[in-house]
Amino acid sequence: MLGFKCFLIYPGCDGFTMIDQQQLEAALPFIAETGLPLLVHAELAGPIDAATERLRGADWRSYATYLASRPDEAELLAIRLMVRLCRQYNFRLHIVHLSTALALDELKAARDEGLPITVETCPHYLHFAAEAIPDGATLLKCAPPIRSKENQQHLWRGLRDGTIDMVVTDHSPCPPSMKREDSGRFDQAWGGIAGISLALSIIHTECRNRGFTLDHIARWMSSAPAALAGIKHRVGALEAGRDANFIILDTNAEFTVTPDKLHYRHAISPYLNEKLRGVVKATYLRGQVVYREGSFAPGPSGREITL
């Protein structure tokens, strides 16, 4: 994918940095000229710093403490800033991993206005809820945070009415030690959730309970991301002339998440022991099988797709 990505807050690792409004305004005329999207981690530091200061002496093993340290306001103000800048500079804006449903009405209004804005959310926001996260469960730390059950229901409504365009994994793996399960302190743990192997099954499970169909899932997890990346002429649908990328999914099969189902380096996951419905039986890349029944097969390698 060709595009730009920025954080409006320190991302938690030294390999990346943040950008402020002045830097954004210097860059946005040039970004707009390219026609490429700017993907934004939409949280502002001010509300988070103020909330964290108020939590001095709090119990950082408590998920409630971590949630209070990253208030909805941090996302909401960041999104308001980006909408204003989108209106001013007319660039393609994409809000990554939306967590707070409080921004949905304003995002919908901005899109109704004709602003070129797209929005994503993630499986963990649609599956987990803050009320059920135990103290010390640092595998569930991510940023923005997992919020309330009520908030989650509003996110699902945002998917239903089209305010949220897509569901993406935001896969963020790390060695087990970085999750600090030994101390259970949310302030010290790596912020990110590894879930790429399970994303489809998670969303399929949740959709069955809410009346959504495979067509919805295909749009959220395939055609909409392809459009954002500017490659919908090549991928994202089963049509003549496009790459034959597809899966075989047993929609009725159930399975319990165990470490052998996690096809990435560090087999840790907050989804362990959960029962999900929908098993990927095979995966095809450009018409050739690359995965079948739990085993990976040699197949075509990845390639750069130019616009």
Contact 167, 159 (CB under 8 A): yes
Query: In this structure, is residue 281 part of a structural domain?
Result: no
Structure tokens at 33: 């000229």
| Structural domains of the chain, count | 1
Q: How much is the pTM? A: 0.96
pLDDT computed for residue 1 by the predictor: 60
Give the torsion through C-alpha atoms of 253, 257, 262, 266, to 10 deg. Answer: 180
How does pLDDT run across 297-306, given as a tens digit for each residue? 887 777 776 6
**Alpha-carbon distance 129 to 148, whole Å?**
5
Query: In this structure, is residue 104 part of a structural domain?
Result: yes
Query: In this structure, is residue 226 part of a structural domain?
Result: no
Q: How far is it between the farthest Cα atoms of the chain?
A: 61
pLDDT computed for residue 301 by the predictor: 75
Residue type, 285: L
Range of the domain at 91: 4-193
3-class state of residue 78 by DSSP: helix
How does pLDDT run across 124-165, given as a tens digit for each residue? 999 999 999 999 999 999 999 999 999 999 999 999 999 999
Query: In this structure, is residue 99 part of a structural domain?
Result: yes
Contacts of 244 by beta carbon, 8 Å cutoff, 6+ apart: 238, 284, 286, 287
Query: In this structure, is residue 40 part of a structural domain?
Result: yes
Mean of the per-residue pLDDT values of the chain:
95
Query: In this structure, is residue 286 part of a structural domain?
Result: no
Contacts of 53 by beta carbon, 8 Å cutoff, 6+ apart: none
CATH for 189: 3.20.20.140
Query: In this structure, is residue 304 part of a structural domain?
Result: no
Query: In this structure, is residue 49 part of a structural domain?
Result: yes
State how far the alpha carbon of 176 is from the alpha carbons of 24, 144, 180, 185, in Å.
35, 21, 7, 14
